Structure 1
């Protein structure tokens, strides 16, 4: 039995069969579009899965590993390709962890690929961010795909989650890579014998532009396959359940529940200090919020020109130091958090001046023509502005990894930091492309990033890591595994838009990941506003201390109410939406957890801009 046949049989979808016809279940992609012919050496059964080795006459060797999860039929596939030969394999442009040749039987129908748009910055209603798109293959040739965008952050174009769906069942797909990934489904040009629809499914890395030299090993990123029976909501819940049980990190030994927090940015931006913040701390604590987070700008030079000045806080903003302010936060019943952008620094910052050799050496950013064959006729944006004043840290360097482990550990110990927003505002692809070995620059950076985050989660178990990338530009299984929540989008000003964003992200991720803030310049909020921000973590970033006593009580009541049902946001999710373009159309969002059901209804029988929440046992 081959690896591909064993994998497809394990998925247990009666309408899908193996159609590999001797072809390998992975691929090394080359610039001349040629592909290697591999020999499968043998299949090995293991306690929690199976593996196989493959060989090529050139001396290349590969291993694929399939980890099976006993509480479902989900499988995580990973592997590597090692050059044990004497010659360099030049012009590698991508690698597919999985290249499965499938036959969809007539009962399955023409396959569909359902994907979700990435998390840009919503600028209109309804937003395109996290919007679901379903496309069906037609007669050969036909292809549909999803991929990382052209700036190199994993979800700047599409989320790395998809459903390969047929009639009444399918396979949910997730890619664990925080750079240039792809998922591709196309008609198979080698159909083989029999009836049905021959399909090739690929998932892996695109545009990595490297040479595989003798002795080097190319990692194949983890790809998740989770079979399901039912409709698209069942497919999304297969992803949610697997992530909740096997990917999502614990927080202080317990399962993460959606949190409540205050973030200073939208209320103060850069005009803040210890003294100015204290009324906000007191009001946030009285309302029942759990974390108080200082966003960008706490360091000398402010945001953004002070990025890289991480040694000490700005003495004008914190004359008594951050530790004294953090102590005041704790006295108000909250935990203190702050912001870092670890992967970049300004050229005038202390970090860059001390360690210029830690940064990717590039003076100008040119269009990365290496990737044109992947990106087609897309327009490349001009990122030259980033080249002038900012540099990207090379997280492939052990000394860079150690610096950030030490820096955040010190903030944890000295300042009492219990929440960090790990931001990533700048696009990395141009930086990687400007290096002599773009593919290795990307791979080493992301693996180094994972090393740091893994260490922090292990050694600082009660530290919340909020992943951010100028909003939701880096949402993937890699950052899901290494973060407790996401700052999902920089749009926060329109109630209906925020609700769409939170509920769309709920289609693929547990509810703790869709963090946002209620930060409109008013205080006359209603249940409609509160519940529209309650489909994920409930944050606030406004001038609450200026509200009337009645408005403060209303906000405190909303927080108390939210805490009573927030744990249910981790359960299976379904929704009903009468008209996606109508703000006043009836919406029903339902989460089911154990024997309980949470229902949030908006624009229901009571009329437009009304909302209710019900917990049914």
Structure 2
């Protein structure tokens, strides 16, 4: 190792690490490709923060920086690959006092302005109880943006049942970073801004995503974006040091999540992976994050089919399927153009079922001729068949709660965990996995199911071994999909309570909510591609025969720019209503042709929960823009949306769904690149437009 700096240059970005012998390694500059790297301060935020029982922080506090081990780490070696398809960078550091070593691993893909990174901790001798280790930490954003904490704001999202993806932008000074006289105190500030999730629902409180945005008045626009890629507890933290500031990303901790790990010779620990990207704006940050998600997603050939799924649950059968109720719905879904029919909850239940589930065998009283006959009818109508499944739980009154061995269940302090009337299977247990494998083999191998809506409605708090259990779940999912390469799995946990990138990197689609009100669902659908890929955003579209025409259309608009997740009593609709549904499906299929390479844009900014006007666009590589616009209660008569990509050009604005403007109006101001849209009537109402440059010489 020579020199005080190491540069890692890829087609998508450049990064500079300080690796001198007299201080811990640090990422001091991170810029998009072609940007100028900086040396950073003399005392930058260390790349790794690590505490063990016996080696904490100095000074003490709630923050996870200022760790004594982190301050003692010294670089041992660094390596960089010359593999253009799998660029990586590794830095090894050691702490002489404890004998612990840490290796920071960075991976990149193609020309994406982002990297994935994690920390590996190992020991030369003895046992060390690790109670915190960062996956990543840096203060490079101050160097690269040229601003101070006063100029920085955090873009982040609260997440809750039926109220997902509630985005907001908060100056750091307003969410925990108090301004104090640092020189007078002779110590760094102790305040911090924290976003975290504490239970087994990885997104039950917040999304593990953030954008640190420099104020628009700064010399160089700057946005640092990240996501934590873990299906359990996590946190990210922002704060100030004596002269600088930092952002730190982590999986579970002892302080917040009662997590520890023993590290010993031959027994290393690997932190959860995170991705970090760089852009010049919030919109650019999500474009980078979209590219990063695609680059690290495990896409199978079956995923490329992008089937249109009809699900019988939402505002329809609501967990009460029978042969009599299903057959007319199956026929109506096939006539509308669905590719796959999913029978949702209740198919296994003779009566009350919440706390008796676990065997996943059909209820004879619901299907007099057998569930297989219903599935055969689905296939006879040209559709694939799917089932709802909640594999990770056993009801407290299920016979399996007694029949399965005790180590098949999650325990805390020696007591079997029970939440919401269920026990949780411990996926580290061979007996638990054998039970689930038998269920899948029967439903897929015997019934011919090719789609699972995999739900998880039971959130548990911290328990010993949760991190290993969550990783075992991922391993089980990988194994199931390897055995059944045509099987598609939808990720669901009471809607989007587990919409993390660890799950999404390997599953087909994501339920975006359990929200039953189409007006409230609009905000969730409009924000969904900030949390997941647009081709994975399973947005409910549940028109009802009793709805007004505007609301009927709006409920379908919710599903067009994503993965339309169709429901509703199609069999009870009028001929004209069914035609509207078919028109929405046709528009959706047009979007599906480009969705896997499209980039989400928000001309009105990321949707806040009660915004009256919402807009989501998908920009195709061809230059076309598919744009959904919602006018919700309280919306004024018109709105103006900047579409800078079309500035100075004449464009064609076509109604994609509904195929006529009706009371809506649009006008284009080419010089400013602004689209003016009016709804011209009562709200709520919505439209989907296709916008493309006007061809030279075309008649007006």
What interval of TM-score do these two structures reach, taking the shorter chain for normalisation?
A: 0.7 to 0.9
Q: Which piece of structure 1 moves more, 461-470 or 576-585? A: 576-585
Distance 1:578 1:594 in 2: 21
After superposition, the C-alpha distances for 1:191-213 in whole angstroms (9 at most, x for unaligned) are 3xxxxx54353433322432515
Unaligned runs of 5+ in 2: 7-15, 20-26, 58-66, 181-188, 632-676, 693-700
Matched with 1:144 is 193
Contact 2:194–2:235 (CA under 8 A) maintained in structure 1: yes
Structure 1 segments of 4 or more deviating over 6 A? 363-366, 578-584
Is this contact kept in 2: 1:589–1:601, CA < 8 A?
Answer: yes
Partner of 2:250: 203
Q: Deviations over 1:77-126 (max 9, x none)?
A: 1232123322x324x4332111224361485323535343243123xxxx
Whole-Å Cα distance in 2 between the matches of residues 597 and 587 of structure 1? 16
Equivalent residue, structure 2, for 1:345: 394
Equivalent of residue 133 in structure 1, options 169, 189, 207: 169
Asked if the contact 2:538–2:563 (Cα under 8 Å) also holds between the matched residues in 1, the reply is yes
Q: Which structure is higher in RCO with an 8 Å CA cutoff and minimum separation 6?
A: 1
Partner of 1:161: 209
What is the distance in 2 between the residues matched to 1:247 and 1:406?
Answer: 30
Residue 289 of structure 2: aligned partner: 239
Cα displacement (A) at 1:8: 4.9
Match of 1:470 among 463, 473, 494: 494
CA contact (8 A) 2:343 2:387 kept: yes
Aligned to 1:560: 586
1:222 aligns with 2:260: no
Contact 1:338 1:420 in 2 (8 A): yes
Aligned match of 2:504 in 475, 480, 497?
Answer: 480
Q: Deviations over 1:586-610 (max 9, x none)?
A: 4443211111221223343242444
Instruction: Encode CA deviations 1:43-82: one digit per residue, 9 max, x unaligned.
Output: 0122321112222332322222111222223211123212
2:672 matched to which residue of 1? Answer: none
- Paired residues in the alignment total 574
State how far apart, in whole Å, the 2-side matches of 1:577 and 1:599 are.
11
Q: CA deviation at 1:145?
A: 2.5
1:261 aligns with 2:316: no
Distance 1:582 1:361, change over 3 A: closer
Which of 572, 592, 600 is the matching residue for 2:619?
592
The 2-side partners of 1:401 and 1:54 are apart by: 38
Tell me the equivalent position of 1:314: 363
Is 1:73 aligned with 2:121? no
- Report the Cα distance in structure 1 between the residues aligned to 2:128 and 2:312, rounded to whole angstroms: 49
Aligned to 1:56: 95
User: TM-score if structure 2 supplies the norm length?
Assistant: 0.75
1:601 aligned residue (609, 612, 629): 629
Q: 1:522-561, aligned counterparts within 5 Å?
A: 522-524=545-547, 525=549, 526-561=552-587
Matched, 1:25 2:47: yes
Report the counterpart of residue 641 of structure 2 in structure 1: none
Match of 2:443 in 1: 411
Deviation at 1:17, TM superposition (A): 5.1
* Distance of aligned partners of 1:355 and 1:75 in 2 relative to their CA distance in 1, 3 Å threshold: same
Match of 1:370 in 2: none
Superposition RMSD in Å: 3.1
Distance 2:525 2:156 in 1: 13
Task: Name 1:85's counterpart in structure 2.
Answer: 125
Which runs of 5 or more residues in structure 1 are unaligned?
Answer: 192-196, 367-383, 433-437
8 Å CA contact 1:117, 1:157 repeated in 2 = no
CA distance in 2: counterparts of 1:132 and 1:93, whole angstroms: 31
Give 1:185's match in structure 2, choosing from 227, 238, 244: 238
The 3-state SS of whatever aligns with 1:324 is helix
The correspondence of residues 307-456 of structure 1 with structure 2, limited to 5 A, is 307-310=357-360, 312-357=361-406, 358-361=408-411, 386-387=418-419, 389-430=421-462, 432=463, 438=464, 441-456=465-480
Alpha-carbon deviations, 1:305-327, whole Å to 9, x = none? 232122x2112123333332211
Measured at CA, do residues 106 and 572 of structure 1 come closer, stay the same or move farther in structure 2, by a change above 3 Å? closer
Alignment of 1:91-130 (within 5 A): 92-102=130-140, 104-105=142-143, 108-111=146-149, 112-122=152-162, 129-130=165-166
TM-score by length of 1: 0.84
Deviation at 1:550, TM superposition (A): 2.3
Q: Assess if the C-alpha contact under 8 Å between 1:162 and 1:174 holds in 2.
A: yes
- Contact 1:573 / 1:589 at 8 angstroms: preserved in 2? yes
How far 1:281 moved relative to its partner?
A: 0.6
Counterpart for residue 380 of structure 1: none
**Aligned equivalent of 2:601:** 574
Structure 2 distance, partners of 1:52, 1:410, is 47
Tell whether the 8 Å contact from 1:113 to 1:162 is kept in structure 2 after alignment. Answer: no
My pick for the range that moved more, 599-608 or 168-177, is 599-608
Distance 1:61 1:410, change over 3 A: farther
- Aligned-partner Cα distance in 2 for 1:187–1:79: 22
The secondary structure found in structure 2 opposite 1:448 is helix
Give the deviation of 1:614 after TM superposition: 2.6
Instruction: Give the deviation of 1:491 after TM superposition.
Output: 0.8
In 2 relative to 1, CA 23–586 (structure 1 residues): closer, same or farther, beyond 3 Å?
A: closer
Secondary structure of the 1:327 match is: helix
Q: Which has the larger radius of gyration?
A: 2
The answer as to whether partners of 2:113 and 2:278 remain within 8 angstroms in 1 is yes
Once the 2 structures are TM-superposed, how far is the Cα of residue 159 of structure 1 from its aligned partner? 0.5
Q: Summarize the Cα distance change of 1:115–1:85 in structure 2 as closer, same or farther, 3 Å threshold.
A: farther
Name the CA distance, whole Å, in 2 between partners of 1:64 and 1:83. 15
